[in-house]
Structure 1
């Protein structure tokens, strides 16, 4: 090897070492950033010497895709669990008198006690108080349902706004990457920023990605709708009161009732499911329970059984007629003011025994009359077609069971998905993250190579000096 070739080789080695140590320093600086991927500068040997290529990123495409999926699934289930946990707080422990089942059981017990001593006005008042507790429990539960559904709507709006903002940020990052690729610039940090944006998008909605020429990326939902291709697509939602929430991407419905191309994961999907299905179904069950109460305590005309009227429980929006359907009954059910002195000074609890709309105690208002109370208890124990052919107590129990079962199922799903996400996140970090020990070892290696190259240059320099001295 000539002295010129040796000097050129040493200089190229120094240049490669300089680039490698610079990239290693970037890695050390980015070690604490979860969005940073380790940069590599592979050595390439050519006829003239050694060059440091790159930088290129450490990556694992399949792990990254699994990470996006796990993030979306975990986000969806966490949103649902939060709402279902709030709903489950309304049912309480069935062994507790403050639960829906407990209050219904207490009302039945108080009526039974009053039946056994119909002349006792204190027992009449106790039955009315128990009825009021039952009505307020349904009112409170309905208020929680409205609260959860309103919160879900707010979450949908927030999620839609965040997706649109992230898509605009993604467009800017993607443009820089495509331009940098064409120009041959270092785009590794830009790729990290773009991946971080995609990860944030996956929190809101299920994402799949495809990379084209010049590192141009296309985004799709997990249902196949294009989110980004050259430009961002518009995401919107309809949140009209009393209607199911619907989400659209570029005019295609992806979430809500009967979506055209359904998205399955992400916080946005979880919020829509919580509003349209979970909370709505529980609200419907509460309304049916309220309807069952009003029907069970209705009064029947003793002279014409075809005629009926509200009894102990009424729909406060129309207290003079039996409701035709259960809509909004849980929030509107109340105790008939005719028997409730707390709501009406003229309210008389004993009318529960004698009749509110009709007069049953016709035998000189006998204090020992119990016929109507007995009929009411019989009606409470009857199966009702409006309650899926169940009794009031059985339907209340099934409602409680449904809420708790849904919450437990969601809780189990959250635990499983969080464990999977933790595992995938750790694996992805190991695959593309920065190991400071590894970087330290690399820097020591580069230092030794740098020293060797510097010594070689020094030797060549001395040889050149000796040669020149000999020539002179």
Structure 2
């Protein structure tokens, strides 16, 4: 090897270590930047006419594990779906209460039964009669409040769903812009690592809202699809495009139905398709809250309200008339419309003699009170999901409150399990692709030594050239 080759190799080493130091400093500066992927130089030996000529930089490497990223996004989207459901169920369960809570419907129903029992012992006592009316009013109000809470949860889920849709659309538009920038930059031989980091962060954000799959083409542009294969974005979007949209009572993807969110049964031909249903992400959690969790809760409440109306109507001496509870006019469910019969307001003697009675019964006559108490012990038929087919009003109310608490705890348990899985994979992703400061500092020492060695070679070569010049002189 000639002195010239030695100088050339040493200079290439200096240039390479300078680039390595610059890249390493960039890594260290972004050690705590979310979504930053560690960079490395891809090096190769320079060989000229069979002789070594130093080292060259081929490219800047941004090596990620696409399978690990896919799994991490999937687990995160499963977690966020359960998080959305658990939050909604907790909001409703907080209002409904535990079976033993004073505010729960089951406790209010039990108190009404106790009020009738005290009235049975003191049928002519005005205070006992008023207590029955007051407790019946509290029970009806409790059902109204629970129904309002369920509707409020649905309204909140709709608002959050719209926010998620807007988030996804905004992120996908930016991803489309980055696709073009990455393709253009890499076509010129530039480093698009920072742009790819930003794109991955956006895709992570999208995956929290809706489960996605991605495919990266040879030109570096990414295609985004739902987990069941529907295309959300094919490399770029036009201004004004909305891949996801809430149109009327439907959630749509590029004009195709994903979910029916309207009131009542879906129109003909809009039945859910298992092949196109949302599988994960917050959007799935909101859709399930709107279409399954809260409608189930309202149905359970409505059947209890209907049971109260029918049970106390049947307990009247004349079952053809209205009983202690009535349903106000309207299109809302029975739980939202149930109220105490206005006939007892100011005439509490009717809870002893019958709501439809023309006059009070004889003092001490407990016949009608016995009928009312029988409404609590009679078995009623129910068809609500997860509820007993036949049960007393009290047993049904307790089962309903317990079931709702069970839905909440079940969703929270699954959410916590999903979070463990998501955190584990995200940690593995950061450990593999992120910046380890200790490792980078070790590399910095090697760079320093390599730079010093290359500089020493140049100094030696310089002295050798000086000696040769002196000899020739």
Taking structure 1 as the reference length, the TM-score comes to: 0.91
**Offset at 1:145?**
0.7
C-alpha offsets along residues 144-163 of structure 1, whole Å, 9 cap, x if unaligned? 11110100000111111111
> Which secondary structure does the structure 1 equivalent of 2:56 belong to?
strand
**Offset at 1:373?**
1.6
> Which secondary structure does the structure 2 equivalent of 1:255 belong to?
strand
Residue of structure 2 aligned with 1:142, choices 135, 147, 158: 147
C-alpha offsets along residues 231-270 of structure 1, whole Å, 9 cap, x if unaligned? 3463344475xxxx53211122223461451121111111
The equivalences for 1:14-413 within 5 A come to: 14-47=14-47, 48-232=53-237, 234-238=242-246, 246-256=250-260, 258-259=272-273, 261-298=276-313, 302=317, 308-317=320-329, 327-340=332-345, 347-359=346-358, 365-386=361-382, 388-413=389-414
Match of 1:323 in 2: none
Once residues 442 and 246 of structure 2 are traced to their aligned partners in structure 1, the CA distance between those partners, rounded to angstroms, is: 56
Once residues 128 and 373 of structure 1 are traced to their aligned partners in structure 2, the CA distance between those partners, rounded to angstroms, is: 13
C-alpha contact (below 8 Å) 2:315/2:371 kept by paired residues: no
Once residues 26 and 237 of structure 1 are traced to their aligned partners in structure 2, the CA distance between those partners, rounded to angstroms, is: 40
Once residues 236 and 153 of structure 1 are traced to their aligned partners in structure 2, the CA distance between those partners, rounded to angstroms, is: 14
Further displaced range: 43-52 or 32-41: 43-52
C-alpha contact (below 8 Å) 2:40/2:60 kept by paired residues: yes
Distance change in 2, residues 1:301/1:151 (3 Å)? closer
C-alpha contact (below 8 Å) 1:360/1:372 kept by paired residues: no
C-alpha contact (below 8 Å) 1:124/1:352 kept by paired residues: yes
Once residues 25 and 142 of structure 2 are traced to their aligned partners in structure 1, the CA distance between those partners, rounded to angstroms, is: 63
Further displaced range: 69-78 or 326-335: 326-335
CA RMSD of aligned residues (A): 1.9
C-alpha offsets along residues 94-130 of structure 1, whole Å, 9 cap, x if unaligned? 2233321111111011112212321112111111111
Question: Aligned residue pairs: how many?
Answer: 449
Match of 2:463 in 1: 462
C-alpha contact (below 8 Å) 2:315/2:374 kept by paired residues: no
Once residues 333 and 428 of structure 2 are traced to their aligned partners in structure 1, the CA distance between those partners, rounded to angstroms, is: 50
**Offset at 1:31?**
0.4
Once residues 235 and 147 of structure 1 are traced to their aligned partners in structure 2, the CA distance between those partners, rounded to angstroms, is: 28
C-alpha contact (below 8 Å) 2:41/2:59 kept by paired residues: yes
C-alpha contact (below 8 Å) 2:316/2:371 kept by paired residues: no
Once residues 196 and 309 of structure 1 are traced to their aligned partners in structure 2, the CA distance between those partners, rounded to angstroms, is: 65
Once residues 245 and 336 of structure 2 are traced to their aligned partners in structure 1, the CA distance between those partners, rounded to angstroms, is: 27
C-alpha contact (below 8 Å) 1:153/1:239 kept by paired residues: no
Further displaced range: 250-259 or 31-40: 250-259
**Offset at 1:188?**
1.0
Distance change in 2, residues 1:285/1:327 (3 Å)? farther
C-alpha offsets along residues 184-242 of structure 1, whole Å, 9 cap, x if unaligned? 110111111111010000010001111111222111111211111133463344475xx
> Which secondary structure does the structure 2 equivalent of 1:308 belong to?
coil
Unaligned runs of 5+ in 2: 48-52, 261-270, 384-388
> Which secondary structure does the structure 2 equivalent of 1:223 belong to?
coil
> Which secondary structure does the structure 2 equivalent of 1:398 belong to?
helix
